[in-house]
Structures are given as C-alpha cells and as structure tokens.
Amino acid sequence: MSLCIAVGAKTMVIATTVFTLQWTHSVEKIDWREQWQIEPAGLHLVEARVKGSGAGMEPGDDAKLKDGWWTWTPKLAPIKQLSLAASGTTGGGWHLCYADTCIELGKQAGQSAVLSPCP
C-alpha cells in the first residue's frame, strides 16, 4: 500500500504503510505527534502524543507520560482520508515522516493537503 498526498492540483505517492505527523498547536504552541498506519479500511491512527495539555489538546484517558510526552492509543476506526489545513500561525506546517524521510506540508497559511491510501 502507498500514501497519496494531494496538495492543490498535484498528487504525490509515497511507498509506505506507516507515517508520523507532527505539528505545533496554533494556540497553545505545544508539539503534537501522531503515528498512522495505512490499512485496507483506510488511515488508522495508532498512537498519539502531546508535549503538554491545553485547549483542545487533552491527552487520552489511558495516556502515560513517557520522555516528556503524554502518549496514548486512540480508539478510533480507520478513516478514508485526512484533511490538513494550515493556519500560518505556528511558524511551520505539518511534518510528515516515513522511513528516514520527512517532508513539510502546509507551511503557508491556507495551504491544505489531503492524505489517503492510494487506490
């Protein structure tokens, strides 16, 4: 399976079955990190981490503090696609990492991206 990333009229295909998204919360200025897996049913969020808590950033009920990160396993069903929107207020965009490579999405305000399993 592969990950398709649509940014504007362009689509990028990444040969991976797992990836990590990391960003800084626009209001609280706290780092957030999510581990995703590509499955036949869609994109599955398998782990979430946050460096603190604040408005809209509460760790999950089963969160444990590990190396300064609140870490937990969200109990959510896979989704068909994930839409990312950039506010431009964080000093950067979304960092998508897979294997030994990272790319930045949504660095400019209003720049959006849609992630989905490739058909």
Q: What is the pTM of this model?
A: 0.87
Q: In what order do the strands lie in the sheet with 3-7?
A: 10-14, 3-7, 112-117, 82-85
Cα separations in angstroms, 14 against 19, 41, 45, 74, 98? 10, 18, 18, 24, 9
Exposed, middle or buried by CB within 10 Å (0-12, 13-18, 19+), for 28? Answer: middle
CA distance 93 to 110: 11
Residues with Cβ within 8 Å of 56's Cβ and at least 6 positions away in sequence, in order, are 25, 27, 28
* pLDDT score for 56: 67
CA distance 23 to 84: 11
List per-block mean pLDDT (blocks of 10 residues) for the chain, which spans 119 residues. 91 96 79 95 96 75 91 96 77 87 81 90
* pLDDT score for 107: 72
